[in-house]
Amino acid sequence: MAVMKPDGECVPGESVTSDQSNGVASDGAAPTVSRGVALSVGEHIRLELLSWPGVTDAPHRFGGVAFHLGRRELGHLYGDYLADFAFPTRVRDQLVREGRAQPHHVMPHRACVSY
């Protein structure tokens, strides 16, 4: 398994863990990582999104954690079992057609997908 080191380098076989205990960075800054227990899938996704310039996280109104770029929500995660993200309709349709995602689990007509 490849994992991310604190400097952003991916290394096969090493494990890392988040220094944040609650899984949400209170200041929106990307959390630091240190050697330890392997991160969950949701935490890997969270760390990746928070490494993007301007992306912050906050509790989502239906649970989980939401990711924002400015005032716009990019999507949200529910632990390690569900991710809902918005895409342009053309991209959403392609992801669904290729079987890489499913229509949003609550509002399938929207340009969002569920993983």
Does this model's pTM top 0.95? no
Print pLDDT tens along the chain (115 aa).
333 334 433 333 333 334 443 344 444 444 545 556 688 888 999 999 999 999 999 999 888 999 999 999 999 998 888 889 989 999 999 999 999 999 988 877 777 888 8
Nearest by Cα to 76 from 99, 107, 42: 42
Between the two ends of the chain, the Cα-to-Cα distance in Å is 21
Residues written for the chain: 115
> Residue 97: enclosing H or E segment and its boundaries?
helix 89-97
**Which SS3 state, helix, strand or coil, does residue 55 take?**
strand
